[in-house]
């Protein structure tokens, strides 16, 4: 089987990225800078051809994907490309976590790979989900170029897997 080639893009900036607030599964839209970043990526992709495009279902990734794809390719939702669910940490900054949840902050800083942040996803579960999702998409497109639009955590998992 011929390998699939992946172009993986992180979504554009959100206001929560600027605030360094953990988004996780909270659906935050792009800000003005994020829209400009998506437009810049679109320019950079001129001349590139993709058999298909997939995006996380979260708004910031979906908005980025809709901006960067060519008109002849419909973006398809791939929930497996969602960012990690950070449980009770979602919506908080590191400073707020340290102040409100010092025990959980210690596990966050230590990158405890098995801890799910009280109802979220452990790093091991998140990585397994992302790898399975990307491998399934690639298996459907042997020898083709795919465009994936996701989140920083997803890109980190893909990088480490590669």
- Pairing between β-strand 75-77 and β-strand 5-10 as defined by DSSP bridges: unpaired
**Cα 12 to Cα 9: distance, rounded to the nearest angstrom:** 9
Find the catalytic residue in 11, 85, 105, 151.
11
3-state secondary structure of 91: coil
**Cβ atoms of 137 and 78 closer than 8 Å:** yes
Find the catalytic residue in 83, 85, 141, 151.
83
Active site (annotated) includes residue 83: yes
> What DSSP string runs through 6-34?
EEEEEPPPBHHHHHTB--TTS---B-HHH
Residues with catalytic annotation? 11, 83
């Amino acid at each position: 089987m011929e390998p699939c080639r992946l172009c993986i893009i992180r979504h554009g900036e959100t206001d929560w990225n600027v605030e360094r607030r953990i988004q996780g599964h909270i659906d935050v839209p792009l800000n003005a800078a994020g829209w400009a970043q998506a437009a810049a990526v679109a320019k950079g992709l001129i001349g590139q051809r993709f058999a298909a495009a997939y995006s996380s279902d979260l708004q910031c990734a979906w908005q980025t994907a809709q901006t960067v794809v060519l008109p002849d390719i419909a973006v398809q939702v791939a929930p497996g490309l969602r960012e990690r669910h950070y449980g009770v940490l979602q919506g908080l900054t590191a400073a707020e976590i340290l102040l409100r949840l010092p025990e959980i902050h210690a596990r966050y800083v230590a990158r405890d790979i098995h801890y799910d942040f009280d109802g979220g996803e452990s790093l091991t579960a998140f990585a397994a989900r992302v790898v399975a999702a990307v491998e399934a998409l690639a298996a459907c497109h042997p020898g083709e170029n795919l465009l994936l639009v996701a989140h920083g955590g997803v890109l980190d998992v893909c990088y480490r897997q590669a």
